Amino acid sequence: MALDKQTVHDIARLARLHIDDAETEKYQSALSNILSLVEQMETCDTTDIEPMTHPFDATLRLRADEVTETNNRDKYQTVAPDTQDGLYLVPKVID
C-alpha cells in the first residue's frame, strides 16, 4: 500500500512529529514498505477468531483500595525541564 504525501503529514501531526518536505519522500517510501508487509495479514481469514490482547488470557489483578504510594513530587520534579511551586510549566494555553 502506498501512502500519499498528505497522509504522511497527517500521521506525523497525529503523532506530534514534524516531517520536513525534504524528508517526506523517504518516510513515504519507508512507511509504505512497512504497510505492504503488514498487509500480508489479509491473506488469512480470521472470522470468529477472538483477539488475543495478552500472552495469557488472565484478567487484571485487583487490589485493596489503600494508599500505597507516598508523595515523591519534589524528587520526581528534579528531572523536569521547568517547574515552579510544585507545578510543571508549559507555554501559555489560555489567554
Partner 1 sequence: MTITTLSELAQQLSSGKQSSVELTQDYLNRIEESKHNAFISIDPEKSITAAKKADERRATGDTAPLLGVPIAQKDIFCIEGTLTTCGSKILENFVAPYTATVVQKMHDAGIVSLGKTNMDEFAMGSSNETSYYGSVSNPWGSQEQPLVPGGSSGGSAAAVAAQLAPAATGTDTGGSIRQPAAFCGLTGLKPSYGRCSRYGMIAFASSLDQAGPMTHTAEDAALLLNTMVGFDSRDSTSLELPAEDFTHNIDNSLEGLRIGLPKEFFSDGLDSEIAELIENAVRTYETLGATIKEVSLPNTHLALPSYYVIAPAEASSNLSRFDGVRYGYRAEEYSDLVDMYTKTRTEGFGEEVKRRIMIGAYALSSGYYDAYYSKAQKLRRLISDDFTRVFENCDVLMGPTTPTTAFAQGSRTDDPVSMYLNDIYTIPVNLAGLPAISIQAGLTQQNLPIGLHIISPYLQEAKLLNVAHKFQQVTDWHQKTPTISAEKGDK
Chain residues binding partner 1 by CB under 8 A are: 8, 11-12, 14-19, 27, 30-31, 33-44, 46, 49-56, 58, 60-61, 63, 68, 72, 75-76, 78-82, 88, 90-93
Task: Answer yes or no: are the C-beta atoms of 27 and 7 closer than 8 Å.
Answer: no
Shortest distance in whole angstroms from residue 40 CB to partner 1: 4
Shortest distance in whole angstroms from residue 36 CB to partner 1: 8
Looking at the Cβ atoms of 15 and 67, the one nearer to partner 1 is 15
Q: How far is CA 3 from CA 22, 25, 32, in A?
A: 16, 10, 6
Residue 89 CA to residue 77 CA, distance in Å, equals 11
